[in-house]
Amino acid sequence: MKKVIITLGFIIAVLASKANDATYFETMAKSIATVYTSKAPEEIQQAINTLDRVGSAEKTKWEPYYYASFGYLMMAVSEKNGAKKDLLLDQATAEIDKASAILLNDSEIVAIEGFIYMIRVSIDPAARGQKYSGLAIQSFEKALKLNPENPRALALMAQMQFGLARFFNSGTTEACATTTKAVEKYVTYTSPNPLAPVWGKEMAEELVQQCK
């Protein structure tokens, strides 16, 4: 009888875990879709708030904080005011730091860190270029070292290379090679994680047009 009780207890625990997983994935999928597609800051903020709550409850999951950071990044990209953009980037940094604390040295997380640096450059390229461009490139190089197949790291590196080429009025051969590789990787790269990032393909395809 004791063995039967233990077995039943194990089955109940597994079923409860699967139910929790289903709720987790459903909530994450909805929030990720909002972060990916919404143009309304209020809607993105609501999704970020949900992601933060999920992250607080699911303490071993890095994805909620990753997408919360990405949400703040998307708001920062659209923000015209430099001070407000910096504040959003500060929030993006705080979120990705939480993700990194859970999953250290992950290519996707490191790529977001570089993305944040890259957007900081855009606030004042003349004053910030030397510091943040270098930090962005270092992050993208690290992300690619961790996973050379990561198309987002490649696309972001290509965008940085194009920006530097324009700033210094130099050639775009390197940038074009990187963005061509990024487009190729978007076709072939897959992840076993159903919540893995998939954004950036359109960015890479737009960059390719600059090489024609």
- pLDDT, tens digit, for every residue of 23-55? 898 999 999 999 999 999 999 999 999 999 999
Among the ranges given (2-16, 69-83, 109-123), the one the predictor scored with the smallest mean pLDDT:
2-16
- Look up residue 49 and give its two tokens: 């708030």
* pLDDT score for 168: 86
Alpha-carbon span 183 to 188, nearest angstrom: 9
Q: pLDDT over 90 for what percent of the chain?
A: 81
Mean pLDDT computed over every residue of the chain:
90
Class (C level, CATH) for 125-212 = mainly alpha
Is the pLDDT reported for residue 107 higher than 60?
Answer: yes
Contacts of 174 (CB under 8 A, 6+ apart): 161, 165
pTM: 0.89
Q: Which residue has the higher pLDDT, 20 or 159?
A: 159
Q: Would you report the helix, strand and coil content of the chain in percent, each value rounded to 5?
A: 80, 0, 20
CB 77 within 8 A of CB 39: no
Is the pLDDT reported for residue 2 higher than 50?
Answer: no
Q: Which residue has the higher pLDDT, 6 or 66?
A: 66
The residues of the chain that CATH labels 1.25.40 are 125-212
* pLDDT score for 167: 84
Contacts of 183 (CB under 8 A, 6+ apart): 151, 201, 204, 205, 208
- Cβ atoms within 10 Å, residue 51: 26
- Look up residue 98 and give its two tokens: 């939480």
Contacts of 140 (CB under 8 A, 6+ apart): 111, 114, 153, 156, 157, 160
* pLDDT score for 61: 95
> How many C-alpha atoms does 95 have within 13 Å on its Cβ side?
28
* pLDDT score for 20: 57
| Average pLDDT of the residues in 155-165 | 94
Please provide the DSSP assignment of 149-160 as one string.
Answer: T-HHHHHHHHHH
| Average pLDDT of the residues in 163-191 | 93
* pLDDT score for 212: 72
Is the pLDDT reported for residue 182 higher than 50?
Answer: yes
